[in-house]
Amino acid sequence: MANIKSAKKRILVIETRTERNKAAKSRVKTFVKKVYAAIEANDKAAADVALKEAISEISKAASKGIYHKSTASRKISRLTKAVNKIA
């Protein structure tokens, strides 16, 4: 464990941010799973709704720096292509 006060604080701050980042990534994964579940069920309407929600969550995560903007863009692109295939 660190002895310097600023180092101790950094440890606490990093733990807090790590938990927040994990929660956000988990939330994104949940929304992505909902999109793929709708695609598996061949339900275009549900897939479109789930896609819109997933894009929103991915964009929020990217804006907070949890995902790099290119990673977010790639995830959104792949989801959109998958949903468009079931038309």
Residue extents of the structural domains in the chain? 5-85
Question: pTM to 2 decimals?
Answer: 0.87
CATH architecture of 5-85: Up-down Bundle (1.20)
Q: How many CA atoms lie within 13 A of 12 on its CB side?
A: 6
pLDDT for the residue 28: 97
Name the pLDDT band for 2 (thresholds 50, 70, 90): confident
pLDDT tens per residue across span 30-87: 999 999 999 999 999 999 999 999 999 999 999 999 999 999 999 999 999 999 998 6
